[in-house]
Structure 1
Amino acid sequence: MKGKKKASGKVLSGIYTLLVYAFLYLPIGVVILFSFNTSKRNIVMEGFTLEWYGKLFENEPLLRAYGNTLIVGLCSTLIATIIGTLASYGMSKFKFRGKSIIDTLLYIPVVIPEIVLGISLLAIFNLSRIPMGLISLVIAHATFCIPFVVFTVNARFAGFDKSVEEAAMDLGAGRIKTFFTVTLPIILPGVISGAFLSFTLSIDDIIISFFTTGPGSNTYPLKVMELTKTGITPDVYALSTIVLIVTVTLVIAAQRDTKNSKHKKNKATTL
């Protein structure tokens, strides 16, 4: 009786797992499938073709929009990572008046609706006479990415042993040298995680980008949203498939590199 219950439990668990994975990855599979569709309307799958991967590179507006997305994502991520890391370091290292208020204010860009933040940034840009374009997009994206970097790096600082810094300074290292040679390598996983999170949020943003973009600075999400009015062509799915393949390849390579480094470290420790 117990064996039958265990077997039925395994079957139900397998079905549940299969449904979860289908819910997560079926839409991605549809995008990949429709990138090979012979029909331009992409309502039903009519046939198999590779022509859209060739026509993709003839679609200059789409490629330009994706290029803008990468530029904004990389620049805003760099700015947010630097500011967020330094802010997290200062808030974890020093005690000062108003620290709790700053901690609370950091949650505001995260919890408020994006449309409110987008309208607020638009008003600030108009008052400051900042031209609407790639510059305004970078500033806007860096603004809502900074808190995520701070939170991620703060989690790394939570278990940080300050005696390591003190030992380095006792040996003659200054604060700057101690930060780059001791502190930064220890918190680097949190910094990298915050950077990846910021980049993901930036390239995926629509609402804030809608309010802070300008002529000639259309991003890929905004371009796709614009195409939904007339119909998304298969070359958009082709670009999405290429980006997906590159992303998955980078993730697999990073995981293998992490496993290899851990294996070498364990081997060196054993020896």
Structure 2
Amino acid sequence: MDRATSWIARLVLVFLYIPIIAVIVYSFNSAAGGYTWQGFSLRWYGELFADGALLQTLGISAIVGVLAASVATVVGLLAAIALVRFPFRGSGMVLAAIVLPLIVPEIVLGVALLSVFSFLHVPLGIVTLVLGHLIITLPLTTLIMVGGFRTLDPSLIEAAADLGCTPWRTFTRVLFPLMRSSIIASWLLAFTVSLGNIVISTFVSGVGSTTMPLRVYSLLKSGLTPELNALGTLLIVLTFVIVLSVGIQQMRRILATPSGSAPAPDSTTAPR
């Protein structure tokens, strides 16, 4: 039974990574179309960097992703503090209302947002994109922050207050260092979701604010080109580098901590 489970897990992993490997391999194919290998070439990377329209949409997606992820992370952290540290009557209902967009179909959210923006005469553009992506990323960041905050020992914050720390110093010296992993995870997840979103972006994007997924989808109507494979490869490499960098930092912190003991506070994190 254990051996069968092991082989099933391996097959699932292979199935998951086959599309990624195919994108990387065919991005170096010299053929102009199709899936017949005709030799190694970097031609499509040159074509990608020469495509100003596609690079512009990539820049718009990056800007929207950074703004949406940053706002969602900050609001999610504040919401977690309010819901966990200072619980109030009806806090469960508030949390349920925050995470409600996770179970509502995105097409419904997109239509609703477009109706609201049209009623308020808000021009579609970067701002509406950020607001639309904020709706789908805020539930994710809030859930991660709530889970991370509930793992903290409340006595640490109380001890910092007893030692004379102001609320702001308690946040910067105690709470933020302890929540750093949850904050990074929330931001990366929100940025990834925003970068790849296409349903919400279809309804709330305007002229001059087309995102990369919308541009790629429009190009697919005329057929898949190796240029898109090159773009996908660069995004895969960027994601791998970010995840690897975060993982290395976390591993260094774990290895630097003596086994069975808590991390010793330093001059930057010790409450004063």
Percent identical residues: 34
Q: Which residue of 1 aligns with 2:144?
A: 152
1:83 aligns with 2:75: yes
RMSD of aligned Cα (Å): 2.2
CA contact (8 A) 1:52 1:235 kept: yes
Q: Which residue of 1 aligns with 2:204?
A: 212
Give distance in 2, aligned partners of 1:204 and 1:189: 23
Matches within 5 A, 1:60-75: 60-75=52-67
Give distance in 2, aligned partners of 1:104 and 1:259: 34
Query: Higher helix proportion, which one?
Result: 1
Q: Which residue of 2 aligns with 1:3?
A: none
In the TM superposition, residue 47 of structure 1 has moved relative to its aligned partner by 3.2
1:178 aligns with 2:141: no
Give distance in 2, aligned partners of 1:22 and 1:78: 34
Give distance in 1, aligned partners of 2:45 and 2:9: 33
Q: Which residue of 2 aligns with 1:33?
A: 25
Give distance in 2, aligned partners of 1:257 and 1:187: 15
Give distance in 2, aligned partners of 1:15 and 1:143: 40
Q: Which residue of 2 aligns with 1:202?
A: 194
In the TM superposition, residue 115 of structure 1 has moved relative to its aligned partner by 0.4
Are the structure 2 counterparts of residues 268 and 109 from structure 1 closer, same or farther at C-alpha, using a change threshold of 3 Å? closer
Q: Name the aligned partner's letter for residue 42 of structure 1.
A: G
Q: Which residue of 2 aligns with 1:168?
A: 160
Q: Which residue of 2 aligns with 1:233?
A: 225
Q: Which residue of 1 aligns with 2:267?
A: none
Give distance in 1, aligned partners of 2:37 and 2:58: 26
Q: Which runs of 5+ in 2 are unaligned?
A: 263-272
Q: Which runs of 5+ in 1 are unaligned?
A: 1-5
Which of 11, 29, 35 is the matching residue for 1:19? 11
CA contact (8 A) 2:99 2:140 kept: no
CA contact (8 A) 1:34 1:42 kept: no
Q: Name the aligned partner's letter for residue 128 of structure 1.
A: L
In the TM superposition, residue 202 of structure 1 has moved relative to its aligned partner by 0.5
Give distance in 2, aligned partners of 1:253 and 1:79: 23
In the TM superposition, residue 133 of structure 1 has moved relative to its aligned partner by 1.1
Are the structure 2 counterparts of residues 93 and 220 from structure 1 closer, same or farther at C-alpha, using a change threshold of 3 Å? same
Give distance in 2, aligned partners of 1:254 and 1:94: 31
Give distance in 1, aligned partners of 2:171 and 2:214: 40
Equivalent pairs, count = 263
Which secondary structure does the structure 2 equivalent of 1:107 belong to? helix
In the TM superposition, residue 14 of structure 1 has moved relative to its aligned partner by 5.5
In the TM superposition, residue 251 of structure 1 has moved relative to its aligned partner by 2.0
